[in-house]
Amino acid sequence: MTLKKSTQVCIIGSGPSGLLLSQLLHNEGIDSIILDRQSREGIESRIRAGVLEWGSVEALQQAGVGERMMKEGIPHSGFDIAFDGDRHRIDLEGLTGKQVMIYGQTEITKDLIGKRLAEGCDIVFSATKVQPLNVTDKRPTVTYEKDGEVFEIECDYIAGCDGYHGVSRKTFPASIQKTFERIYPFGWLGVMVEKPPVAHELIYANHSRGFALCSMRSETRSRYYVQCSLNDKVVDWSDERFWEELSIRIGPETAANLQTGDSFEKSIAPLRSFVTEPMRYGNLFLAGDAAHIVPPTGAKGLNLAVADVRLLSRALIEDYKNNNDSHLETYSKTCLKRVWKVERFSWFMSTMLHQFNDFSGFDKKMQRAEFDNIVDSEAAQRNIAENYVGLPLE
């Protein structure tokens, strides 16, 4: 026996993008059901991004979940780029009038889940065999299983916010889908430690031994990364080895302020650039990692997902409130124009700051020339700053 449900928008995925979309729609009286294959505990414990563009901050405030973020988050008005010991600050606020906010994605997810559940949203955790069906029909459906029972949700629209490995993108026919991808030949080894950060703002560093990033989640919790081989395993990297390598790459002057300790999270993440086109098929819309992935250099992944959700929520609200589907019709085109600009920025930052085994002496000189051009050119700094704080939605 199949149990029936009905809603206006069925959202697949309860990461920040799916949750934020549900909240923005709820604020306008539009109903949604959220499905996720993970448990609530698993979702709320995932360690992810921590740098928010100001547009993302405003979107969370608009959704009504910004109170804790504004109390506990750390506004940053700039960041540093370093190259073989030389260091230059990008003055975000001075160049653009905007800041970014340090606030962990884990905390955003907790804030959104708490608010959605408090307001009675039907969030189905640990759902299995989730499948969008008949997505070109006027009333598509999504089926899933939970606790041995089969459910079917009838809806107007489906939002695929279920990430790179989710089912939503796989629903698109191969005949209309184009994918673009670049796999980077290295990974990031990241650690979390309960120690104050080495600097007040982020430091992105290119060293002859590889890239390093000094980041943070709070005034007492630091997040650090070093470029590593894709063949490396976490067990290959003791804390002692990590701190030694990080200290070399950030240089003795910066390392003098580094407070080390036992890491409580350590993982290796591969880097890739990925885009699928289009982002709509029938009444199924993709958002976030379901449609695109950027390397983490430049902190764009979560912010790009939030931008998608801001555009999709606007389109759905216009359709329901004003019977105007023009924004739904242009959703994919509007998103992808911005997506490719963000992909370009992340590719640029990654190419300039990492060591590539196949780079010639010429290529390495070009990396240095890029850095020197940034240092010497206010226009180049402004371009980086504009991208870092977030491009306009359209």
Active site residues: 76, 204, 296, 300, 388
Phi and psi at 96, nearest 5°, equal -125, -15
Q: Compute the radius of gyration of the chain from its Cα atoms.
A: 21
Decide if 228 contacts 235 (C-beta within 8 A). no
**Cα separation of 48 and 37, whole Å?**
18
For 183, the token pair is 């796999």
Locate tokens 């007040």: which residue? Answer: 200
**Cis omega before residue 278 (within 30°)?**
yes
Query: What sign does the dihedral 240-244-247-249 (CA atoms) show?
Result: negative
**Cα separation of 227 and 168, whole Å?**
32
Specify whether the backbone of 62 is left (phi greater than 0), alpha (psi in -120 to 50) or beta.
alpha
Residue whose C-alpha is closest to residue 355's, from 205, 182, 215:
205
**Cα separation of 132 and 144, whole Å?**
9
